Amino acid sequence: VIIRAGINFDNFYAPIKNFSEKAKNKSVRLLALGALNPYRRYDNVIMAVADLRKQGYDARALIIANHIWHEDECKAALISLVKSNHLEEAIDLKFEGVSEEELRRAYRESDVFVQAVYVPPPSNHGWGLVNFEAMAAGLPVVLCRTATATEVLKDGENAFFVDPLSPEQIAQKVKAMVDSPELYM
């Protein structure tokens, strides 16, 4: 028996948003968060935003990537990726973490949670309480199909799964929700 740590549901609870109005404007805000390291694949979230914007969507992202492990190279690479794709106005990088209230606000103000975590085999990670915080906050979740959270979630039913290292698939799942708001879970 595996006993997983739970979340404080009441701390994050919000009903699912009425996404229809934002969808009409082709507007969407992604949220990704966790400690900063290369396996979080925040670069995939950035490139998904770039892809969506090229397709005419007003896509933006807030990436809360707490720099607790001093991953300076990873931080520099993300900043460079944002700049090289001219996404300074669309991507908000927070490397110092946020307060509990700011975190709750980030969930409230975002439309889709993305966890692109990918650690090559034999290790697969990505359980992440953040997936379940996001769901409690009423956000649909897009996550890498190798994440261990997929053990309890079902693709297309209570989450959307994407292949590892596939920003284009992240963009496709988000685009599907914007184009068909009834998919917004």
Q: What is the mean pLDDT of the chain?
A: 93
184 pLDDT above the threshold of 90: no
Task: Give the pLDDT band of residue 1 (cuts 50, 70, 90).
Answer: low
Question: For residues 167, 115, 141 and 103, what is the CA-based torsion angle, rounded to 10 degrees?
Answer: -130
Amino acid at 119: V
- Say which residues have a Cβ less than 8 Å from residue 36's Cβ, sequence separation at least 6: 42, 65, 66, 67, 68, 69, 71, 74, 75, 95
CA-CA distance, 44 to 166, in Å (whole number)? Answer: 7
140 pLDDT above the threshold of 60: yes
Residue 111 φ then ψ, to 5°: -110, -35
- Tens digit of pLDDT for each residue in 43-99? 999 999 999 999 999 999 999 999 999 999 999 999 999 999 999 999 999 999 999
CA-CA distance, 59 to 52, in Å (whole number)? Answer: 6
pLDDT of residue 185: 66
Q: Does 15 sit behind a cis peptide bond, omega within 30 degrees of 0 on the bond before it?
A: no
181 pLDDT above the threshold of 90: yes
- Tens digit of pLDDT for each residue in 13-51? 999 999 999 999 999 999 999 999 999 999 999 999 999
CA-CA distance, 65 to 22, in Å (whole number)? Answer: 26
**Proportion of the chain above pLDDT 70, given as a percent:** 95
pTM: 0.94
pLDDT of residue 8: 84
CB atoms within 10 A of CB 27: 15
Determine how β-strand 141-144 pairs with β-strand 160-162. parallel
Task: Give the pLDDT band of residue 2 (cuts 50, 70, 90).
Answer: low
CA-CA distance, 66 to 58, in Å (whole number)? Answer: 26
Query: What does the DSSP assignment read for 36-90?
Result: --GGG-HHHHHHHHHHHHHTT-EEEEEEEEE-TT--HHHHHHHHHHHHHTT-TTT
